[in-house]
Amino acid sequence: MSTLPVIAAFDGSDDSVRALDWAYDAARGRGAPLRVVHVRQYAVRVPAGTGVAPLPEPADDPVLARAREHLARRGADRPDGGSGVAYLGPEGQPAALLPELGADAQLLVLGSRGRGGFARLLLGSNGLAAARDAACPVVVVPRPGREVDRPLGAPPTGPGPRVVVGLNADGPDDAALAFAFAEAALRGARLQVVAAYPWPVQVWAGTMGEPVPTGIDQGAVEDETRALAEGFLAPHRARHPDVRAEPYLAPGDAAGHLVAASQDADLVVVGRHRRRLLAPARMMGSVTHAVLLHAASPVAVVPPAPPED
């Protein structure tokens, strides 16, 4: 059985060069082939003599030539243990074509922004579309030097390689947990599991809709969240006994805790919402969207496992 490739989306920008480096290392670590893809937009076939330059053939594409030169400078023409590097130049809209390529890949990697769009955007439209629609996990590599707030009580960082994963104790994402454990095992990293719980718990009552304290004990809520988290982690720990998984329980905003934990992390792993009957369109969810926009480390967005028949 052939190994599915790692795909690096490349458009010649500095962001895509960083994504290419990340994808190359990921392919090498997995013993997988690497596919470098430049989606050539707005392909127009023009007759000779019109003065309009047609798109170059993929073999002559200067963007892919830059990718070849970059990997050659790294002293590598193929990932160690992998099946080599291929360069592809399909024509189409990147936001539509990149997610389609994910159907035959184990990982799709791209930079947070490409050449198009507004300079102030933290995440380009292609990254957003790929993270929302691709059938495989999508890794978005941010620009270096992004600062994140680390408020009092933020998840600890510490030395050594570290993978972070978000866990919703009310509805755990088993696919995201499985990916995070496997990634931590590949990297020899510890796994920091961030499980946020709502606090303070309030109900709205009275004619003015004012919040009323419930009297629920915070310690009891945290203990219940911890017990649920440990139960969800148990089967993954059994499959990866060498991975040190550290649950971190935190009150309040899950996105804020994950962004704070992204400082100096190797990777942050988040899940994508499953399609629902009354909302058939693919959705990332507000937490995943916020982490993509603000995390300091690369972010992996993992699609949900297909539902069982």
CA angle 140/142/148 to nearest 5° reads 120
Contact between 20 and 37 (Cβ < 8 Å): no
Please name the amino acid found at residue 18: R
Look at the alpha carbons of 42, 99, 19, 104 in this order and tell me if their dihedral is positive or negative: negative
Percent of the chain past pLDDT 70, that is, above it, reads 76
Domains 6-141 and 162-302 share a fold: yes
> Is residue 252 helix, strand or coil?
coil
pLDDT more than 90, % of the chain: 51
> How large is the average pLDDT for residues 259-270?
94
pLDDT of residue 297: 94
Domain ranges (residues) in the chain: 6-141, 162-302
User: Which of 41-55, 112-126, 161-175, 256-270 bottoms out in mean pLDDT, i.e. has the lowest?
Assistant: 41-55
Return the pLDDT at 171. 78
3-state secondary structure of 28: helix
When pLDDT is averaged across residues 259-283 and rounded to a whole number, the result is 75
Give the model's confidence band at 211: pLDDT under 50 very low, under 70 low, under 90 confident, else very high: low
Paired tokens of 162: 């570290």
> What is the pLDDT, as a whole number, of residue 152?
64
pLDDT in tens, 144-172: 888 887 766 667 777 889 999 999 888 77
Q: Taking the model in full, what pTM does it have?
A: 0.84
Which fold is adopted by the domain 162-302?
Answer: Rossmann fold (3.40.50)
Superfamily of domain 6-141: HUPs (3.40.50.620)
User: Tokens 């990932």 correspond to what residue?
Assistant: 79
